[in-house]
Amino acid sequence: MKFEFCREDWVQKPCDVLVVALDDDWAQRSEFQSLDQASSGWFRRVMQSGEVSTKPNKVSMLIAPTGIPAGVLCIVGTGNASQSACNTYFRAAGSAMKALASRQRSTVRFVGFGNSPLEIRAAIAGALVGSQGQDLYKSEKSTFAPEIVEWTGSNDAQIRAGEIIGESVNLARLMVNQPPNRMYPETFTDQAIEVANDAGFSIEVWDKQRLIEERCQALLAVARGSIRDPRLLILRHRGAPPDSEPLALVGKGVTFDSGGYSLKPTDGMLTMKCDMAGAATVLAIFNAIAKLNVRRNVVGVLGLVENLVSGDAFKLGDVLTARSGKTIEIHNTDAEGRLVLADCLDVALEEKPAQIIDFATLTGACVVALGNDVAGLMSNQTQFQVDVQSFTEKCGEYTWPLPMHSFYSEQIAGKVADIKNVGEGRWGGAITAAKFLEEFVQTKPWVHLDIAGPAFLDSAKPWCDAGGTGFLVRSFAEWLLA
Quick check: helix, strand or coil at residue 60?
strand
Q: Cα separations (Å) of 408 from 414, 417, 427, 474? A: 13, 17, 11, 32
Residue 399 lies in a domain: yes
In a domain, 103, yes or no: yes
Tell me the C-alpha distance between 26 and 81, whole Å.
11
Question: Helices (DSSP H) in 18-61: which residue ranges?
Answer: 30-38, 42-48
Pair (334, 424) in one structural domain: yes
Output the CA–CA distances (angstroms, integers) from residue 331 to 206, 222, 421, in the order listed. Answer: 28, 13, 6
pLDDT-derived band at 426, boundaries 50, 70, 90: confident
| Same-domain check for residues 141 and 184 | no
Phi, psi of 70 (to 5 degrees): -135, 140
> Which of 354, 365, 331, 328 minimizes the C-alpha distance to 343?
328
Structural domain contains residue 195: yes
Phi-psi region of 371 (alpha: psi -120 to 50; beta: other; left: phi over 0): left
The arithmetic mean of pLDDT across residues 350-369, rounded, is: 98
Asked if residue 344 is part of any domain, the answer here is yes
Q: What is the dihedral of CA 259, 264, 266, 268, to 10 degrees?
A: -90
- By annotation, the residues acting in catalysis are 264, 338
Over residues 164-179, the mean pLDDT reads 98
- Whether residues 383 and 471 share a domain: the answer is yes
Count: domains in the chain: 2
Identify the pLDDT of residue 81.
61
Same domain? For 231 and 278 the reply is: yes
Residue 383 exposed, middle or buried by CB count within 10 Å (0-12, 13-18, 19+): exposed
Share of the chain above pLDDT 90, in %: 97
- Same-domain pairing of 78 and 214: no
Answer with the residue of higher pLDDT: 8 or 322: 322
Segment 371-385 mean pLDDT? 98
Rounded to whole angstroms, how far apart are CA atoms 111 and 151?
7
State the Cα–Cα distance between residues 72 and 381, nearest whole angstrom: 52
User: Is 165 contained in some domain?
Assistant: no
pLDDT score for 425: 85
Q: Which tens digits make up the pLDDT trace of 265-308? A: 999 999 999 999 999 999 999 999 999 999 999 999 999 999 99
- Per-residue pLDDT band for 319 (boundaries 50, 70, 90) equals very high
Residue 217 pLDDT greater than 70, yes or no: yes
Amino acid letter, residue 243: D
Vertex 175, ends 391 and 120: CA angle to 5°?
35
Q: Any idea what DSSP says for residue 461? A: B
Shared-domain flag, residues 202 and 236: yes
Q: Is residue 22 a contact partner of residue 50, using CB atoms and an 8 Å limit?
A: no
- Neighbouring CB atoms inside 10 A of 229's CB total 17
- Each residue of 461-482: b (16+ CB within 10 Å) or e? bbbbbebbbbbbbbbbbbbbbe
User: Is the pLDDT score of 108 beyond 90?
Assistant: yes
Q: What is the model's pLDDT at position 84?
A: 74
The Cβ-side half-sphere exposure at 471, using a 13 Å CA radius, reads 29
Give the domain CATH number at 116: 3.40.220.10
Q: How many angstroms separate the Cα of 474 from the Cα of each of 145, 239, 300?
A: 20, 19, 17
Pairing of β 327-329 and β 319-321: antiparallel
Q: 248 and 123 share a domain?
A: no
- What residues does 149 pair with on adjacent strands? 3, 108
Q: Is the pLDDT of residue 8 over 80?
A: yes
141: left (phi over 0), alpha (psi -120 to 50) or beta: beta
Phi first, then psi, for residue 273 (nearest 5°) are -65, -20
Other Cβ atoms less than 10 A from the Cβ of 157: the count is 10
The answer to whether residue 166 is domain-embedded is no
Domain boundary among 90, 120, 154: 154
372 and 231 belong to one structural domain: yes
156 neighbors 117 (Cβ within 8 angstroms): no
The answer for residues whose C-beta is within 8 angstroms of residue 41's C-beta and 6 or more apart is none
Q: Are residues 129 and 219 in the same domain?
A: no
CA–CA separation, 421 and 354 (whole Å)? 27
In a domain, 172, yes or no: no
The pLDDT score that the predictor gives to residue 197 is 98
Q: How far apart are CA 286 and CA 112, in angstroms?
A: 30
Residue 337 confidence (pLDDT) above 90: yes
Q: pLDDT > 70: what percent of the chain? A: 99
pLDDT band at 219 (very low <50, low <70, confident <90, very high): very high
Same domain for 189 and 139: no
Q: Are 217 and 320 in contact (CB under 8 A)?
A: yes
Choice among 83-97, 286-300, 346-360 with the minimum mean pLDDT: 83-97
Q: What angle do CA 253, 259, 261 make, to 5 degrees?
A: 135
Cα(430)–Cα(268) distance, integer angstroms? 18
Domain boundary among 154, 170, 198: 154
Provide the β-strand partners of residue 202.
236
Please report which confidence band the pLDDT of residue 83 belongs to, taking 50, 70 and 90 as the band edges: low
Strand partners, 306: 256
Q: Any idea what the CATH number is for the domain that residue 210 is in?
A: 3.40.630.10
Residues 203 and 261 in one domain: yes
Residue 359 lies in a domain: yes
- Structural domain containing residue 402: 178-481
Q: Count of residues for the chain?
A: 482
Q: Is 196 in the same domain as 125? A: no
Q: Where are the beta strands (DSSP E) in 287-352?
A: 298-307, 319-321, 327-329
Task: Examine the pLDDT at 82 and tell me if it is beyond 70.
Answer: no
